[in-house]
Amino acid sequence: MKKIIKTCPINLSPAKIAFLLNAIKEDGTKMQEKKITAGFDGFIDTIIKIIKKKQPQKTSLFTTIKEFGNYILEKEGTSFSLELEEQHKKLGGNMPIMANALGQMGIPVNCLGALGYPQPDPIFKNFSLNCKLFSFADPGISTAYEFNDGKILLAQMGELNNTDWKKIKEKIGLDTVITLYKESNLICLLNWSEIDASTDIWKGILKDVLPKYSPGKEQIAFFDLSDCSKRTHQSITEALDLIQRFAKYTKVILSLNKNEAHIIYQSLYNKKSKKELFSIGNKILERLAIDTLVLHSSKEAMAFSNSEKVKVDSFFTPKPKISTGAGDNFNAGFCAGQLLELDLESSLILANAVSGWYIRKGISPQLPDIVDFLKNISVSN
């Protein structure tokens, strides 16, 4: 007997779930006819839990970031040690995790990234078979310290810090990149914040790629900036300007988590906001000439366009099996919804379902898994 998921959004009716299930049933196989090209990062992730106390037959972990932070503050002026419990190693980075999630749903994805050079690192053999790898550098190394309410990511960038548009053209070939982009229904430009040359890469695509085939609004360009905390106001503003330049060629979707939304708001308005997330989203869209803005947190998600503004609760669980990659799986689900030409609300529900499965199971779902998840949610609702 399948276990029923009891945690469900309070504003999600059975009719909305039924509509999405029918769309997947009727059109889900059409996603196999779509093509995606995504770039440009790549990491090997080590997932870690931090041990708080050890007793015979019992080990307790730090469960919240605040609890861990307070513990460190209490040790001020002293030296101390902590024991780490490694959960597993996995493919990492915004592009690989999102691309793998899309591939799991049956969509062919061209992956341009730091996946190992001249041959992909063995860790990336775990990619979905629907993903085709184009690598130009060795991956970075990321250690994710996970808690029930979030995670702390510490990254060693390696060759990614020495990667620019010129190197990508040399290693992959400009003609190849142009062909991949031209044949794609969706292009994903991810993890701007961690790649030093992201802005240079975006400028290169705007100069050398998009003008070669003038895609139009039939093609979607999806952006996820990742955590911009260490970036300057000037560099963030330049990135936002470039995203709006992409909107002259394609339909543009920008996705931000709660932290990133506050940073972008501050960059646009030169002040912090104490407003709730939906209001922040409205204000961001007012300043950006893009087609769609998506905001998401562990408990809610929302999307904004000139014709739609919607908000839905997430499929929240207080004890996730994994949180690293939850946002990337959310983004994959939303993009899949857009490729199915769903409205914003249905795309958000699909995004939450993909992410909801992932954080409970530790792997990205295939379409039958998403269907089962939504059916169980519907029964419990």
Q: How many CA atoms within 13 Å lie on the side-chain side of 151?
A: 25
Residue type, 296: H
Q: Could you report the per-residue pLDDT of 21-49, keeping only the tens digit for each?
A: 999 999 999 999 999 999 999 999 999 99
Q: At what angle do helices 367-380 and 14-27 cross, to 10 degrees?
A: 160
The whole-angstrom separation of Cα 32 and Cα 340 is 11
Higher pLDDT, 315 or 1: 315
Mean pLDDT across the stretch 53-61?
Answer: 89
Cross-strand partners of 149? none
Q: What percent of the chain has pLDDT over 70?
A: 96
Query: Would you state the pLDDT for residue 58?
Result: 87
For residue 206, give both structure tokens. 């705007």
Residue 146 to residue 323: CA distance in whole angstroms: 7
Q: How far apart are CA 105 and CA 355, in angstroms?
A: 13
Return the closest-CA partner of residue 353 out of 4, 8, 39, 1: 8
**CA dist., res. 321 & res. 129, Å (int):** 24
Token pair belonging to 346: 């249905």
**How far is 373 from 68, CA to CA, in rounded Å?**
33
Do 95 and 191 meet the contact criterion of CB atoms below 8 Å apart?
yes
Could you tell me the pTM of the whole model?
Answer: 0.91
Q: What is the C-alpha separation between 181 and 35, in angstroms, rounded?
A: 9
Per the structure block, which two tokens stand in for 192? 């701007």
Of the candidates 373, 289, 286, 287, the residue with the CA atom closest to the CA atom of residue 329: 373
The pLDDT assigned to 55 comes to 86
pLDDT of residue 2: 37
Distance CA 131, CA 279 (A): 37
What CA–CA distance (Å, rounded) separates 193 from 226? Answer: 6
> What is the rounded CA–CA span in Å between residue 260 and residue 277?
11
The pLDDT tens digits for 159-201 are 888 899 999 999 999 999 999 999 999 999 999 999 999 999 9
d(CA 234, CA 259) in angstroms, rounded, equals 18
228, 260 contact by CB (below 8 A): yes
Task: Say yes or no to pLDDT of 277 above 50.
Answer: yes
Report the pLDDT value the prediction gives residue 319, as an integer from 0 to 100.
87
| pLDDT(3) > 60 | no
Q: Taking all residues of the chain, what is their mean pLDDT, rounded to a whole number?
A: 93
Give pLDDT tens digits for 197-243. Answer: 999 999 999 999 999 998 989 999 999 999 999 999 999 999 999 99
The rounded radius of gyration (Å) of the Cα atoms in the chain is 20
- What's the pLDDT tens digit per position in 281-319? 999 999 999 999 999 999 999 999 999 999 999 999 988
**pLDDT tier for residue 347 given thresholds of 50, 70 and 90:** very high
Q: What tens digit of pLDDT does each residue of 131-141 get?
A: 999 999 999 99
Nearest CA to 34 out of 88, 80, 83, 102 is that of: 102
